[in-house]
């Protein structure tokens, strides 16, 4: 089987570059992925007009879209909204499903909401979410390629071991391992990188490939261009193509190929 997934993150409508968002829509039409996975932070401050902009963007995507919220999709200053209805706007404008699933005969992708009302930028995974995730993967064929999408990371980026990761990350990775997850897609840092989750969680036995996306469309670039990932899956191989906004258009700037061997994911030529 071959599948192509476009992985976008941290769109931050309200602090976005309209020309970059328009070019991204054109790129998607050309790439024609099986799925567009968006790992959170669709808005800058969870304002209604920002969600409306994000909705308009999503409506321009012709293929299936799976999206999870980020911490920026929870209102920061409206305390009533924040504490009692943190994801009300996200649910009404973007996605009304708490744990969205994309599944076909060969691929199962689950979105996991890590955004929480009680932390400003941190995230968390609950035991109930882990149970629900395990139950969904249980219904998939054993041979199904399994992907989880979160906003908050379950491991820090290379060279920054002290960056905060989601609460209960250690328990979460144990649950992902038990469910036979192959790949984790995430965002939040506005940095693109790939790594093996077990390198940060020594208690893990299973190799899970972590793919982080930069910010696709926002001005909050943190020394990176606007970037996104194109992930091509043809087991046992997976290729992660990084596309960056340079000189007025998106272009591929690197392609990294991995192979799942008995010992786990390894980078290959
Ligand atoms: Fe963000």
Over the stretch 4-39, which tens digit does the pLDDT of each residue have? 999 999 999 999 999 999 999 999 999 999 999 999
Distance, CA 233 to ligand 1 centroid (Å)?
26
- Mean model confidence pLDDT for the chain: 95
Predicted local distance difference test score (pLDDT) of residue 220: 85
Distance, CA 119 to ligand 1 centroid (Å)?
14
**With bands split at pLDDT 50, 70 and 90, how would you rate the model's confidence at 139?**
very high
Distance, CA 109 to ligand 1 centroid (Å)?
22
Distance, CA 129 to ligand 1 centroid (Å)?
22
Predicted local distance difference test score (pLDDT) of residue 86: 86
Q: Are 99 and 70 in contact (CB under 8 A)?
A: no
Predicted local distance difference test score (pLDDT) of residue 221: 85
Distance, CA 190 to ligand 1 centroid (Å)?
6
Distance, CA 265 to ligand 1 centroid (Å)?
28
Whole-model pTM: value is: 0.96
When pLDDT is averaged across residues 119-135 and rounded to a whole number, the result is 89
Which of 26-30, 121-125, 151-155, 172-176 has the weakest average pLDDT? 121-125
- Supply φ then ψ for residue 48, to 5 degrees: -60, -45
- Taking only the tens place, the pLDDT of each residue in 183-218 is 999 999 999 999 999 999 999 999 999 999 999 999
Instruction: Say which residue the tokens 């390894």 belong to.
Output: 266
Distance, CA 189 to ligand 1 centroid (Å)?
7
Q: Which of 239, 221, 220 is nearest to 230 (CA)?
A: 239
Query: Token pair of 10, please?
Result: 């941290």
* Helix residue ranges per DSSP H, 155-252: 169-179
Q: Whole-angstrom Cα distance, residue 24 to residue 28?
A: 6
Distance, CA 182 to ligand 1 centroid (Å)?
24
Distance, CA 114 to ligand 1 centroid (Å)?
13
Distance, CA 216 to ligand 1 centroid (Å)?
10
Indicate left, alpha or beta for 159 from its phi (over 0: left) and psi (-120 to 50: alpha).
left
Q: In the predicted model, is pLDDT for residue 222 greater than 90?
A: no
When pLDDT is averaged across residues 137-165 and rounded to a whole number, the result is 95
When pLDDT is averaged across residues 129-148 and rounded to a whole number, the result is 96
Distance, CA 43 to ligand 1 centroid (Å)?
8
What is the chain's alpha carbon radius of gyration, rounded to the nearest angstrom? 17
Distance, CA 188 to ligand 1 centroid (Å)?
5
């Amino acid at each position: 089987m071959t599948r192509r997934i476009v992985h976008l993150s941290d769109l931050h409508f309200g602090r976005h570059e309209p020309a970059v968002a328009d070019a991204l829509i054109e790129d998607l039409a050309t790439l024609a992925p099986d799925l567009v996975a968006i790992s959170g932070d669709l808005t800058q401050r969870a304002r209604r007009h920002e969600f409306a902009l994000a909705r308009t963007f999503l409506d321009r995507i012709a293929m299936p879209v799976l999206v999870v919220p980020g911490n920026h999709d929870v209102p920061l200053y409206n305390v009533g909204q924040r504490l009692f209805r943190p994801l009300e706007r996200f649910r009404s404008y973007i996605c009304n499903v708490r744990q969205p699933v994309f599944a076909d005969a060969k691929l199962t992708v689950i979105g996991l909401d890590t955004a929480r009302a009680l932390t400003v930028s941190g995230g968390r995974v609950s035991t109930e979410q882990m149970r629900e995730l395990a139950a969904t993967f249980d219904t998939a064929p054993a041979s199904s390629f399994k992907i989880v999408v979160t906003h908050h990371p379950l491991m820090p980026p290379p060279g920054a071991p002290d960056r905060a990761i989601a609460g209960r990350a250690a328990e979460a990775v144990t649950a992902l391992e038990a469910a036979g997850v192959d790949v984790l897609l995430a965002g939040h840092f506005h940095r693109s990188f790939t790594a093996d989750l077990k390198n940060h969680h020594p208690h893990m036995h299973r190799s899970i490939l972590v793919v982080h996306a930069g910010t696709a469309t926002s001005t909050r670039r943190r020394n990176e261009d606007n970037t996104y990932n194109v992930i091509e899956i043809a087991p046992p191989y997976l290729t992660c193509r990084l596309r960056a906004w340079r000189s007025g258009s998106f272009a591929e700037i690197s392609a990294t190929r991995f192979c799942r061997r008995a010992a786990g994911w390894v980078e290959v030529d």
